[in-house]
């Protein structure tokens, strides 16, 4: 059965895209059939995988069922990893979804005809809580939340937990978080990681992604870490993160 993993956070700039690309690549490396859907109108995941961020007919036709999602898929450098690219029209995704009969099920409608071809679908989500994110909550089996170790991360993660528990209809997705851009040399980072781990016991994964230059170089190399720095700290951390995450699915 296909599992949908959404890389999501209310805040931007926390490492969602690098995590989506590297986890999707890692899953494919291990033999799973993987689809990565780039939902961010900025198209960063599409860029990193060297795919033109363009969806024929735009996001509105796609979520309204007027485009065939199979025809829009693009292959990547890994034979088991496909991409549904971003499109700048996704900036109006809320309007497109609101115009449908079931506005919170638009993403599910797109994924449904693709699901039998994939073991995992990863969603690289834009930040904020909106109608598009409500679609993500409805479609995902797991919300995977990257957190930078800062006091505001504690607040935003707990806000998200409360929102999903109080506002999202059942069946609700699982929620798991991991620390991103973590620097163990910084006292604040260590303190925040310890505090959040104690406050939301079991919701934070043990594996943290380090603040490493290799992650920044992905934009220059336009490849997943496994393609140019497979033995680096960050690549090994993403592999460990997937090993820790997979049993939850």
CATH code of 231's domain: 3.40.50.300
Kindly report, residue by residue over 45-66, the tens digit of the pLDDT. Answer: 999 999 988 888 888 899 888 8
| Structural domain boundaries enclosing 175 | 3-248
Give pLDDT, residue 125. 96
pTM of the model as a whole:
0.95
Contact call for residues 59 and 96 (beta carbons, < 8 A): yes
State the pLDDT at residue 195: 79
Would you give the DSSP letter of residue 173?
Answer: P
C-alpha–C-alpha distance, residues 123 and 20, integer Å: 7
For strand 74-75 and strand 81-84, is the pairing parallel, antiparallel, or unpaired?
antiparallel
Give the span between the Cα atoms of 43 and 51, in whole angstroms. 9
Residue 145 contacts residue 177 (beta carbons within 8 Å): yes
CA–CA separation, 108 and 219 (whole Å): 30
**What are the tens digits of pLDDT across the range 32-42?**
999 999 999 99
Q: What angle do CA 107, 11, 8 make, to 5 degrees?
A: 35
Domains: count for the chain: 1
Predicted local confidence at residue 34, as pLDDT = 98
| pLDDT by 10-residue block (mean), the chain, 249 residues | 96 94 98 97 95 86 90 96 93 89 91 95 92 94 94 84 91 94 87 77 88 95 96 97 95
């Amino acid at each position: 059965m296909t599992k949908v993993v959404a890389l999501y956070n209310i805040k931007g700039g926390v490492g969602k895209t690098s995590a989506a690309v590297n986890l999707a690549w890692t899953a494919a490396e291990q033999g799973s059939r993987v689809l990565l859907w780039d939902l961010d109108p900025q198209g960063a995941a599409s860029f990193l995988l060297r795919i033109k961020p363009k969806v024929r007919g735009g996001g509105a036709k796609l979520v309204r069922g007027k485009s065939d999602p199979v025809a829009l898929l693009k292959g990547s450098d890994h034979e088991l990893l496909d991409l549904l690219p971003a499109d700048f029209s996704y900036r109006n995704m809320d309007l497109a979804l609101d115009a449908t009969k079931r506005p919170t099920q638009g993403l599910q409608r797109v994924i449904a005809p693709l699901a039998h071809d994939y073991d995992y679908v990863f969603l690289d989500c834009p930040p904020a809580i909106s109608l598009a994110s409500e679609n993500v909550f409805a479609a995902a089996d797991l919300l995977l939340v990257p957190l930078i170790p800062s006091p505001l991360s504690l607040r935003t993660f707990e806000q998200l937990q409360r929102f999903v528990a109080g506002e999202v209809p059942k069946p609700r997705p699982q929620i798991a978080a991991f620390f991103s851009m973590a620097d163990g040399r910084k006292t604040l980072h260590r303190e925040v990681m310890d505090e959040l781990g104690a406050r939301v016991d079991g919701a934070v994964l043990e594996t943290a992604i380090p603040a490493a230059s290799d992650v920044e170089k992905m934009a220059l190399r336009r490849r997943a870490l496994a393609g140019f720095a497979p033995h680096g700290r960050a690549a090994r951390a993403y592999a460990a993160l997937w090993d820790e995450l997979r049993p939850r699915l």
